[in-house]
Amino acid sequence: MTTLHYAFADTLVLAKRSLLRIPRQPDLLVGFTVQPIMFVLLFVYVFGGAIETPGFDSYTDFLIPGIIVQSMVFGGFVTALGLSEDLKKGLIDRFRSLPMWGPAVLTGRILADVGTNAIQLVIMFAVGIAIGFRFSNSVPEIVFGILLLFLIGYAFSWVFAFIGLIASSPEAANAYGFTILFPITFISSAFVTTETMPDWLEPIAEANPFTTMVDAARALFLGTPAGNDVWGAVLWSLGIIAVFAPLSAWRYRQSVTR
Amino acid sequence: MARELAIEADALEKSYGEVRALCGVDLRVDAGTVYGLLGPNGAGKTTAVRVLTTLLPPDGGQARVAGHDVQREPKRVRERIGLAGQYAAVDENLTGFENLEMVGRLYHLGRRRSRERATELLAVFDLTDAGRRLVRTYSGGMRRRLDLAAALVARPPVLFLDEPTTGLDIRSRMVLWDAIEALVADGTTVLLTTQYLDEADRLADRIAVIDHGVVIAEGTSDELKAQIGGDRLEIRLDDRERGEAALAALAAVADGRPYLEDGSLRVPLQRRRGEIADAVRRLDEAGIGIEDIAVGRPTLDDVFLQLTGHAAEQDEAEDVREEAVGRR
């Protein structure tokens, strides 16, 4: 048996563990299913009538790619909470005393996130389609768009892994995640067009990588002009991984050898 | 024939910033024995265990566990050890069975063997009925039992137990003690840290008393007790005024000089048959009435107090209270 074999096997064992807990923790289950649906319905039916989105058939078409990218970003949240909990409760010590492939503690979590992202995607697209969202692009581009969503989700899993490792408690991880990332997702083109924002805010929103990612998803699902957004989104995601994966690995080593 | 050492530590050192947790700790643990690491909170017990279980690199010194160097061959060491920590390191959102199965898979036992082992261990620790329930519904004692079971999944030849019974009620402690004794009977080497002197006394073949990162005494429980003297007879008289007469009557019985302390007679014993009956007869013949008589043995508490200048179990009341809260 090679190291590579064990790397895969151990990652799978720990991914399974992360996934098993979701249906058993009602708050997580609600977070993954009810909450995104609620967001879609609130935005479409409460704000939708008041928000102008020139160039789109409906606000639903405009919103769904944006809100799906947001849910991909926050899909990694469970990683932050889970890692922070494991560190606090001594479970990481148990794992480290086993002859397993060490990094699986992180990669298992992140693989589980890919699984939860897939579940969220299915739910969100189903709700979107039920309330009138329609893809209007070729199949290969739609497929590429879905792959891009997974890449974005994967990138932010590493961000959340890092948050989970620097937070002193699961509650603190929660606070970091929401106070930092939540506004970032809102100061973007996800829910409104950036032209409607004040002059000083518009350039910030335009420069926000989250705007690039949302615009890329729209271009791929709806055929809107892409510009450099698609490659921009890919590069941003890879950049985030390149920074936060090593940072998380470093921080993990720091926190466990105390 | 040379003794086989399961754990061998030389001059281990570890500091956390200014705090020196280990200041040159040497340990020698024979295979198949229980070794007790005894000391108050913050003495360095847990740090020693973390170094020996490869979780923490030492700043200085070296250690071999189950024949492998903890720094150069951590994986070989990890294949041969089990660790049950101070806090039950089990996943609350998995069932007991799933926890053990997961640990088996991570020891690379394979799916089938992992499941068989999980079932076996649940039975051993009287958790079969609870095995399908989520661990978050378990009591504190059940969690510790599951934690110990998890440490045994791969039948490790060397087992580290870091304060396995801290905060447990008496019944759960007894169950864990029985389990540990059964393991040792099967040849497992156990390194046990504890603040409880009775626990070390009952389980450990040899004991190292550690304080401020230094081993301040080492030996069997009896050797440690012998350092501060042997058994003694403690006699309270009906009439306190007759103490001097009693001392004179007992001079021939005592090993050394009998003395008065807190109004009681203390008579060091020579450990020979009929010694106590002899003492009672002599007092009777001298017409001195006895209110109470007892044989006192120095406890490890006395040893601890003498060696460290402070008591070991000052936190016990607190631990018991935490356990009561934890079980609710």
- Note whether A163 and A177 are within 8 A (CB): yes
A62-65 long-range Cβ contacts below 8 angstroms, 24+ apart: A62/A193, A62/A218, A63/A190, A63/A191, A64/A40, A64/A124, A64/A125, A64/A128, A64/A133, A64/A221, A65/A145, A65/A214, A65/A217, A65/A218, A65/A221, A65/A222
Radius of gyration of chain B (CA): 24
Closest approach of B75 to chain A, Cα-based (Å): 5
- Token reading at A193: 């067009």
d(Cα B286, Cα B237) in Å, to the nearest integer? 13
When scoring A4, A8, A18, A97 by the number of chain B Cβ atoms within 10 A, the one with the most, hence best to mutate, is A97
Q: Residue B325's pLDDT band (boundaries 50, 70, 90)?
A: very low
* CATH fold for domain B232-297: Alpha-Beta Plaits (3.30.70)
Predicted local confidence at residue B309, as pLDDT:
64
d(Cα A170, Cα A179) in Å, to the nearest integer? 14
d(Cα B1, Cα A253) in Å, to the nearest integer? 42
d(Cα B53, Cα A139) in Å, to the nearest integer? 54
- Find, among B172, B161, B165, B141, the residue nearest to B34 by Cα: B161
Q: Is A24 on the interface with B (CB under 8 A)?
A: yes
- Provide the Cα torsion A115, A117, A122, A123; round to 10°: 120
The residue ranking higher by pLDDT, B273 or B131, is B131
Q: Which residue of A has its CA nearest to B94?
A: A21
Contact B79 A90 (CB under 8 A): no
Taking the domain B5-80+156-226, which CATH number applies?
3.40.50.300
**Range in A196-210, B68-82, B218-232 with the lowest mean pLDDT:** B218-232
Domains B5-80+156-226 and B232-297 share a fold: no
Only one residue has tokens 């002009």, namely A225
Residue B88 has pLDDT above 80, yes or no: no
Residue B254 has pLDDT above 90, yes or no: no
Q: What is the DSSP letter of B210?
A: E
HEC states along A213-250? HHHHHHHHHHCCCCCCHHHHHHHHHHHHHHHHHHHHHH
Looking at residues A90-107, what average pLDDT do you find? 89
Contact A25 B91 (CB under 8 A): no
Amino acid at B315: D
Q: How many domains does chain A have?
A: 1
d(Cα B50, Cα B14) in Å, to the nearest integer? 11
Contact B150 A21 (CB under 8 A): no
Residues 6+ apart with CB under 8 A from B210: B25, B37, B38, B39, B43, B44, B45, B48, B216
Sign of CA dihedral B118, B123, B128, B133: negative
Closest approach of B309 to chain A, Cα-based (Å): 29
Q: Is A8 on the interface with B (CB under 8 A)?
A: no
Predicted local confidence at residue B299, as pLDDT:
67
Contact A20 B150 (CB under 8 A): no
Percentage of chain B exceeding pLDDT 70: 88
3-class DSSP assignment, residue B8: strand
Predicted local confidence at residue B323, as pLDDT:
37
d(Cα A33, Cα B253) in Å, to the nearest integer? 83
Contact B106 A25 (CB under 8 A): no
Predicted local confidence at residue B243, as pLDDT:
83
The residue ranking higher by pLDDT, A196 or B299, is A196
Task: Name the residue range of residue A71's domain.
Answer: 3-256
Contact A95 B106 (CB under 8 A): yes
Predicted local confidence at residue B310, as pLDDT:
61
The per-residue pLDDT for range B1-41, each reduced to its tens digit, is 456 899 999 999 999 888 888 999 999 999 999 999 988 88
Spell out the alpha helix ranges (H) of B138-237.
140-151, 170-185, 197-203, 221-226
Predicted local confidence at residue B312, as pLDDT:
53
Residue A69 has pLDDT above 50, yes or no: yes
Q: What are phi and psi of B12, to 5 degrees?
A: -65, 135
The residue ranking higher by pLDDT, A214 or B307, is A214
User: What are the angstrom distances between the C-alpha of B113 and each of A176, B119, B189?
Assistant: 42, 10, 23
Contact A9 B105 (CB under 8 A): yes
The per-residue pLDDT for range A163-207, each reduced to its tens digit, is 988 887 888 888 887 788 888 889 999 898 888 899 999 999 999
d(Cα A244, Cα A38) in Å, to the nearest integer? 30
d(Cα A105, Cα A13) in Å, to the nearest integer? 10
- How many residues in chain A? 258
Q: Is B75 on the interface with A (CB under 8 A)?
A: yes
d(Cα A57, Cα A59) in Å, to the nearest integer? 7
Closest approach of B315 to chain A, Cα-based (Å): 21
Predicted local confidence at residue A235, as pLDDT:
96
Q: Residue B199's pLDDT band (boundaries 50, 70, 90)?
A: confident
d(Cα A138, Cα B38) in Å, to the nearest integer? 71
